[in-house]
Amino acid sequence: MNDIKKFTSFATSNCYLIRPFDNEIVFLIDLPPNIDEVIHYINTNNLTIGGAFITHGHWDHAIGLSSFDSKAYINLDDEHLARNPSEQVGDFLGDKVSVNKYEGNLHNVLDHEYDFLNVYINPGHTKGSVSFEFRDLGVVFTGDFIFKDSIGRTDLYSGDNNEMIDSINNVFTLFQDDFQLFPGHGDDDTVINIKNNNPFIREYLK
């Protein structure tokens, strides 16, 4: 799909660049570490950032906030996570990423003003996990809620397995079968293929 470009960080998290209209405005889905490459691409192609939509507050999806100066939206249930990467990043990362507290603005994704965007609340991986659907493009971005072949962990801070099962049954089922699902890690696939082939969905979907 020409309207969507994927950048994968060293932490394996995906940043998607989406261009919903026939103009220069682009939006980012998630802000992993090292978004310099994405910003460089935007600048060299004369594109303009409309804003960033963050699927959840884990550092590998939100730590790019510190090098991002446009409007960023997140479910404020994950604000603490997004502002405090040092609580999640272990020593194993060394100095690969700056883990300073993020003090900048965060906008509540539930207050976004874009009629092309549909936000789904799907707690389980984290309390504030959301998915972003661009209905006209037939795509949905799920962060660490649903992957192609698995689902997000629920044993991390604010994760909850019962909420995850509820979200699979009450939110994932709202995604249209022919839509393309773009996860926070790994490859995309259609919703129907994931419904049929993902072993965790097959186990948890009632």
Report the SS3 class of residue 202: helix
Q: Which stretch binds Zn ion (CB under 5 A): 52-60, 67-75, 89-97, 185-193?
A: 52-60
Verify binding: residue 144, Zn ion, rule CB under 5 A.
yes
Verify binding: residue 127, Zn ion, rule CB under 5 A.
no
Verify binding: residue 77, Zn ion, rule CB under 5 A.
no
Query: Nearer Cβ to Zn ion, position 50 or 143?
Result: 143
Instruction: Give the CB-nearest residue to Zn ion.
Output: 58
Identify whether the C-beta of residue 145 lies closer than 8 Å to the C-beta of residue 151: yes
Q: Which stretch binds Zn ion (CB under 5 A): 53-61, 68-76, 132-140, 162-170?
A: 53-61
Which positions ≥6 away from 180 have C-beta within 8 Å? 1, 138, 139, 140, 188, 189, 190, 191
CA dist 206 and 187 (Å) reads 25
Query: Nearer Cβ to Zn ion, position 50 or 128?
Result: 128
Q: Measuring CA to CA, which residue among 79, 187, 191 is closest to residue 133?
A: 191
Sign of CA dihedral 100, 47, 118, 199: negative
Burial pattern 6-27, b for ≥16 Cβ within 10 A else e, equals: ebebebebbbbbbbbeeeeebb
Backbone angles phi, psi at 17, to 5 degrees: -105, 120
Number of chain residues interacting with Zn ion (CB under 5 A): 2
Verify binding: residue 30, Zn ion, rule CB under 5 A.
no
CA dist 30 and 61 (Å) reads 5
Of 27, 30, 58, 85, the one binding Zn ion by CB under 5 A: 58
CA dist 185 and 41 (Å) reads 21
Q: Which stretch binds Zn ion (CB under 5 A): 34-42, 55-63, 132-140, 185-193?
A: 55-63
Query: Nearer Cβ to Zn ion, position 185 or 195?
Result: 185
Query: Nearer Cβ to Zn ion, position 21 or 157?
Result: 157
Q: Which stretch binds Zn ion (CB under 5 A): 2-10, 21-29, 99-107, 139-147?
A: 139-147
Least Å distance, CB 164 to Zn ion, is 12
Residues of this chain that interact with Zn ion (CB under 5 A) are 58, 144
